[in-house]
Structure 1
Amino acid sequence: MNFPDLIQTILIYGLPVVFAITLHEAAHGYVAHLRGDNTAWMMGRVTLNPMPHIDPMGTLVMPIVLFLATGGNFLFGYARPVPVNFSRLHHPKRDMVWVALAGPAVNFIQAFVWAFAMYGLIAAGVEERYFIEVCKAGVKVNAVMFAFNLFPLPPLDGGRILVGLLPWKQAVWLSRVEPYGFYIVMALVILKVVDTLWMAPIMSLTFELLSLMLSPFEFLLKP
């Protein structure tokens, strides 16, 4: 990928990525606050300011290096995880599910909002291609974050949701995987297991659900 293409990609994906990461992390902290743990709230992590959520290596360096090294075919990154003291939650095992689910849920909502905005721009006759591409990027970025974070292995949100739903014995066993979970997930990503067995079907279902939810607004596209 040449330099102009890289700049164009950054300009299109920059805003959607910042919103996707910021609202995802803030949602975790906000729901934890509602359920009794003020750790993230007191540390200033329940904020729409993206800076506290950015991890220099995971949010900036790693995605750019992977993007350049693979010609845009592979992209991976992460934000600073919001600190949550699950023992402070009103009902730790049950509330863990809601805290973990908050991030992906906000990404799904954002995907819907970006798609609706695209419908509105097209209906309004906006011909500037940049704004349409930004909306498309917003849908894609948030759909990817929604699907990937639901992968059922700690420390991803899907793993913590599963820990909260399983009986105690199985939950304790799965929670012991968390210190190694990131490396396991990375290995599965590199081997394309996550993409083939998880991302492809979940992404397909996500876009179908978004299409169904947006169907009442298709009149906006009619001349």
Structure 2
Amino acid sequence: MFDFFSPEALQRYAILAPGLLIALVCHEVAHGYVAYLLGDPTAKSQGRLTLNPIKHLDPLGTLAFFLVHFGWAKPVPINPNFFKNPRKGMLLTAIAGPGVNFLLAAIFALVIHILTFTHFEQSQFTDTVIVPLYLISQAGVFVNLILGVFNLLPIPPLDGSNVLAYFLPPNLAYKYMSLNRYGFIILIGIIMVGQFSGYSLVGAVIFPLVRGAASLLGVTI
């Protein structure tokens, strides 16, 4: 039986949770805010344009955090009928989420560099504040890059599907986006194939990109 509340597990949660929570909340708020700027009041009317994590947490996504150390938030509702140009509106709304994650990864990387190049004497303050802050920032870079890259995969309902749909002919885009209802099943299927075959298509695509992006930010993960 897994011990989800052992000292080691609690330490992992404490390191991962801040970066992941910030990543998920800001990702969804970015979607809703850009949609609001483009004329869609849906997210605002439902109280989703807030950094209050309670408004965004998904029960299953929260449980997944304890099981697999990753999770997801409730998608912000978007109504493209409010956009003057629905196709372009969905494109801009889609890229806002991953875009914010890449920005957050850069901010966490900046914190790491500041801590690295600032001389701290060995002390209780260093052990209880500086070292945890470094580890949290390192995890923040990782989870934000993972979330940003993963969401750009062109698999409905991920953000990358709306990006690809923008460049497809309208009829083909409509058929493609109709896969939305099967998107979760498709994602699970890809993950399961990786588990049984020993070759993870998602891992083969995502992790090299994440490591490359982290390297550009000067961070080793």
Shorter-chain TM-score above 0.5: yes
Partner residue in 2 for 1:50: 53
Partner residue in 1 for 2:173: 171
CA distance in 1, matches of 2:216, 2:16: 23
CA distance in 1, matches of 2:172, 2:142: 34
1:201 and 2:208 are equivalent in the alignment: yes
1:42-81 mapped onto 2 (5 Å cutoff): 42-58=45-61, 60-65=62-67, 67=68, 75-81=69-75
TM-score (structure 1 length as normaliser): 0.85
Partner residue in 2 for 1:19: 22
1:154 and 2:156 are equivalent in the alignment: yes
Whether the 8 Å CA contact 2:142–2:210 is kept in 1: the answer is no
CA distance in 1, matches of 2:136, 2:215: 20
The runs of 5 or more residues in structure 1 that have no matched partner are: 68-74, 215-223
Residue 105 of structure 1: how far off its partner (Å): 0.3
Given candidates 101, 109, 120, the residue that maps to 1:107 is: 101
* Aligned-partner SS, 2:217: helix
What whole-Å deviation, never above 9, does each CA across 1:111-151 have from its counterpart, x for those lacking one? 00000011111222244321110110110010100111111
2:100 partner amino acid: V
What whole-Å deviation, never above 9, does each CA across 1:79-136 have from its counterpart, x for those lacking one? 1000000111121001111000000000000000000011111222244321110110
What RMSD, in angstroms, separates the aligned Cα atoms of the two structures? Answer: 1.6
CA distance in 2, matches of 1:108, 1:200: 15
2:60 partner amino acid: M
CA distance in 1, matches of 2:169, 2:28: 27
Whether the 8 Å CA contact 1:26–1:48 is kept in 2: the answer is yes
CA distance in 2, matches of 1:156, 1:176: 13
Whether the 8 Å CA contact 2:141–2:214 is kept in 1: the answer is no
CA distance in 2, matches of 1:195, 1:76: 14
* 4+ residue runs over 3 A deviation: none
CA distance in 1, matches of 2:211, 2:180: 28
Residue 76 of structure 1: how far off its partner (Å): 4.3
Whether the 8 Å CA contact 1:94–1:164 is kept in 2: the answer is yes
The runs of 5 or more residues in structure 2 that have no matched partner are: 121-125, 195-199
1:9 and 2:3 are equivalent in the alignment: no
Whether the 8 Å CA contact 1:94–1:165 is kept in 2: the answer is no
Q: How many residues align?
A: 202
1:89 and 2:96 are equivalent in the alignment: no
1:161 partner amino acid: V
CA distance in 1, matches of 2:102, 2:207: 16
CA distance in 2, matches of 1:43, 1:205: 38
CA distance in 1, matches of 2:16, 2:132: 11
